[in-house]
Amino acid sequence: MKNILPTLLATAVLTACGNKKTETKVVESQTAAETNAPVETEKPNSDLKPAFEGQTRIAGVTTKTPYETKVLTDKLDRPWGVVALPDGRLLITEKEGTMRIVAATGSVSEKITGLPEVNDSGQGGLLGVTLDPDFANNRMLYWAFSDKTKEGNLTAVAKGRLATDETKVENTTVIFRATPGHKGNLHYGGRILFDKNGYLVFSTGERSDMETRPQAQQLNSANGKILRITTDGKAAPGNPFAKTPNARPELYSYGHRNVQGLAFHPETGDLWENEFGPLGGDELNLIQAGKNYGWPIITYGMEYSGDEIGSHIGQKEGLEQPVYYWDPVLSPSGMTFYTGSAVPEWKNNLFISGLSSTHIARLVIENNKVVGEERLLKEENQRFRDITQGKDGALYAVTDNGRLYRIGGE
């Protein structure tokens, strides 16, 4: 176990829950936000202006409470998703199509096999994973992966039982395929989790290419969407497009580019999402059923060539604005809200894994607005792929080159 970061002591912003007891903390947070410079100092790629104050480049904050960061292991093989098991160990997906279990000591299991074959070319592979709410009794897992079909590659969802000896996943079944398929190997989305009603919520990408990009706006396509299904792969009851002609009943929201982050707020229960923009324009969104989040009609980003996208607009009536966006990009992947007690000012803060930005973004959110941003572990120079909270209240993050970090109190 390697200690790679000394205890941090600095000025901090405190969060608040909005009740009378925490009014003083709200004032402290706002005061700090007014006096600290934004963490982003580079020139933006786009000349588009934000829709409202604080939508981007919010004031920087720093953590006051001492905490410790450790590398538990660097022996993982391109990890993509991480989730905490009931006993505190971490179940981790690896891009090539296997899973591992890592203990608090850093010991890594042999590869867990038995999953359907994945197409791990490009951005594909074994992606996000989640546990059945009754996992302690039924040992059921659900995961997203890139599936190669005759029609092309697509995002699929499967389920199976983790064997008692933890060497394989048994009775695996593919329960949903996000059609239509496409010959490309980019923008699969791939995060998955359970909502409070026991339905699966998962994300897809619009598959990146110019020819597939418009599918984000098409209700007869499962690409560029957030979807909500039962554990048997059927449309969940109450979905917003269940009675819309020619629309897929599994759809929950649309107009997304490539969604790799999903998380429910621990107090409000709201669904939050992050997605990749192109050159700039990475987004954090508060998801509401049936809403259109705009891609590719509106975006705060540019083409990778530097050309403008579409009509080069960031706002349009009827299309949802991001709560927050980044330009230059964060390259946001997995994310989680903090509910632990070891670092009090992190309470209900959102932590987002940054890939090309090589840091974990901590966002302070109050009244559904971002009021502070901090960059954690930037000195590690790692592509952070996913982050979750463990049973011990610490945060655990995996990186593309095989590391698992523990971030929190001792």
Backbone angles phi, psi at 24, to 5 degrees: -60, -40
Calpha distance 368→376 (Å, rounded): 22
Backbone angles phi, psi at 320, to 5 degrees: -75, 140
| 104 belongs to a structural domain | yes
Calpha distance 230→200 (Å, rounded): 6
User: SS3 of 39, please?
Assistant: coil
Q: In this predicted structure, what is the pLDDT of residue 146?
A: 98
Q: In this predicted structure, what is the pLDDT of residue 340?
A: 95
Report the predicted TM-score, pTM, of the whole model to 2 decimal places. Answer: 0.92
Calpha distance 342→33 (Å, rounded): 23
- pLDDT tens for the chain, residues 1 to 410: 334 333 333 333 323 333 322 222 222 333 333 459 999 999 999 999 999 999 999 999 999 999 999 999 999 999 999 999 999 999 999 999 999 999 999 999 999 999 999 999 999 999 999 999 999 999 999 999 999 999 999 999 999 999 999 999 999 999 999 999 999 999 999 999 999 999 999 999 999 999 999 999 999 999 999 999 999 999 999 999 999 999 999 999 999 999 999 999 999 999 999 999 999 999 999 999 999 999 999 999 999 999 999 999 999 999 999 999 999 999 999 999 999 999 999 999 999 999 999 999 999 999 999 999 999 999 999 999 999 999 999 999 999 999 999 999 86
| 224 belongs to a structural domain | yes
| 58 belongs to a structural domain | no
Strands laid side by side in the 324-326 sheet: 259-264, 271-275, 282-287, 324-326
Q: In this predicted structure, what is the pLDDT of residue 13?
A: 32
Q: What count of other Cβ atoms lies within 10 Å of the Cβ of residue 37?
A: 9
Q: Give the range of the structural domain holding residue 206, as residue numbers without chain letter.
A: 74-355+380-402
| 310 belongs to a structural domain | yes
- Amino acid at residue number 394: A
- CATH number for the domain including 204? 2.120.10.30
Number of domains in the chain: 1
Backbone angles phi, psi at 181, to 5 degrees: -75, 170
Q: In this predicted structure, what is the pLDDT of residue 409?
A: 80
Calpha distance 410→404 (Å, rounded): 16
SS percent in the chain: helix, strand, coil, step 5: 10, 40, 55
Q: In this predicted structure, what is the pLDDT of residue 410?
A: 66
| 51 belongs to a structural domain | no
| 374 belongs to a structural domain | no
C-alpha dist (Å) from residue 82 to 102, 105, 203, 356, 395: 10, 16, 16, 19, 11
The residues with which 144 forms a beta bridge, in sequence order, are 157
Q: In this predicted structure, what is the pLDDT of residue 21?
A: 27
| 35 belongs to a structural domain | no
CA angle 191, 197, 199 (to 5 degrees): 40
User: Among all residues, which ones are annotated catalytic?
Assistant: 187
| 7 belongs to a structural domain | no
